[in-house]
Structures are given as C-alpha cells and as structure tokens.
Amino acid sequence: MEQQPYYKRVILKLSGEALSGQLGYGIDSEVITSIANQVKDVVDLKVEVAVVVGGGNIWRGIAGSAKGIDRATADYMGMLATVMNSLALQDALETIGVPTRVQSSITMQQVAEPYIRRRAIRHLEKGRVVIFAAGTGNPYFSTDTTAALRAAEIEAEVILMAKNKVDGVYSADPFKDPNAVKYESLTYLDVISNNLGVMDSTASSLCMDNNIPLVVFSITEKGNIKRVVLGEKIGTTVRGSV
C-alpha cells in the first residue's frame, strides 16, 4: 500500500552547515547528494517541497561585521552565499531527476528566477522543488526568518528544520551538559522565553503569530525527512500551543 504523507506542502530549512558535513566549511558533494536523495523520496510521495537554504557554511553577516565589514554589506554577502548553496542543491536534485526552480530574493536573472509568490506556488503544484535563495533579500534577517516568512506566504503546513549536529531541541547544549534533555514538544513561547536557540526570535515570533508548526530533527540519519513527512514523531515539535 502506498504510504500516505501527513503533510501536503512543506518548507525544508537547510542550514549552510548541513551541506558542509564533516568539512565544516563549503559544500560536501556526498552530503548534498544524500540530502537530494532524501528530498526526492518525499517528492515521490507527491508532497510539495520548498527549500530555504542558509549560507553559514560560507559566510555569516555577524561574523563579517565583527571583522569590521559594514553589517548590511556583510549580510548581503551572506545572502549571496545562500545563492551558491541553492545552485549546488539545484544541481544535486536535477542530477537525480528532480525538477527544480531556484527563486532568488535578490534579482539575478542569469542564475535564478526572481521570487514571485504565485509563480512559486504554481511550480510546487506542478511537482517542482522550489529553492528559495538569498534569504528575505534584507539585511538583519536570517534564513530561519526566511523559512517562516515563505511558509506563511505559500501556506506551507510545517517547517522542517533539518540539523546536522543535534536531533532536536534540548534543555541545554547536549555537547556540554550531560544532564541536557531532549524535548518532544514545545511552544514558541517556551522557545522565546527560555532562549532555547532553536531559531532567532524574529523567526520564532513570525511562526508563533502565524501558527506555523516546526519540526526540528537530524538530517544525518538517512530517511528522516520522509519519516517526519509521514507523521512519525521524531525530533522536537514546536507549536503555537501544546
């Protein structure tokens, strides 16, 4: 019997770090191929998948501004880094036969479509994976906020936040504190008031205000994206109310 997905339209948030694997920097081709295959498994279930890709594996605005670069300029550099990652993911997906479109919030006609909401929805309806590049197009924001914003705009049912170091949200840093416990479910208020570091406060507020659930899980275990999409309880779920 064909497996019935729990969601019809999802946003997958991939941090830049998730693409760098053990390298810790740049793009690991084996890792990106493995992620592409996991995305394909979900597309094969007829789930509409949009992806927001980060850029931290190449450049982070805050780190750049700490080195003396003007913050807004450093942030634009970070947004350009997300475009590089998006093109790499597009290539990995198309190599295995998944149709894709990259839509960039900073127009660059030669490499990507501009972000056009209605067009993005149309692509999804046609079974194409839409990769949202260049964040929100604004400095001082993050790609987590981009995921929240695009999820609201395209009416995605959930944000799937794939992590490569942790498998959910913990009460403390599990690498430093042996007593850290993993939460099964949380509210956005818990996340914001306890400073749990799941996503920045702008992104958390946007999700809370628009009632967008979030599942935080590990992408290093193959098949996890599909498990979440099929409704299996893994990782940590964050909602407006429990």
Q: Exposed, middle or buried by CB within 10 Å (0-12, 13-18, 19+), for 67?
A: exposed
> What six digits make up the tokens of 209?
């205000």
> What six digits make up the tokens of 90?
């597009």
Under rule CB under 6 A, which residues in 180-219 are in contact with ligand UDP?
A: none
* Between 3 and 201, CB nearer to ligand UDP: 201
Residues 131 and 123 sit within 8 Å (Cβ to Cβ): no
Closest of 77, 198, 83, 219 to residue 145, by C-alpha: 198
Residue of minimal CB distance from ligand UDP? 54
Establish if 55 lies at the interface with ligand UDP (CB under 6 A): yes
Listed ranges 30-38, 60-68, 168-176, 178-186: which one lies at the site for ligand UDP (CB under 6 A):
60-68
Minimal distance, residue 240 CB to ligand UDP, in Å: 23
Under rule CB under 6 A, which residues in 9-38 are in contact with ligand UDP?
A: 15-17
CA angle 159, 194, 173 (to 5 degrees): 80
The residue count of the chain comes to: 242
Closest of 158, 236, 231 to residue 6, by C-alpha: 231
Under rule CB under 6 A, which residues in 122-181 are in contact with ligand UDP?
A: 135-136, 138-139, 141-144, 146
Question: What DSSP character marks residue 22?
Answer: G
Establish if 61 lies at the interface with ligand UDP (CB under 6 A): yes
**Is 183 labelled a binding residue?**
no
Minimal distance, residue 71 CB to ligand UDP, in Å: 8
Where along the sequence are the contacts to ligand UDP (CB under 6 A)?
Answer: 15-17, 54-56, 60-62, 75, 78-79, 81-82, 135-136, 138-139, 141-144, 146
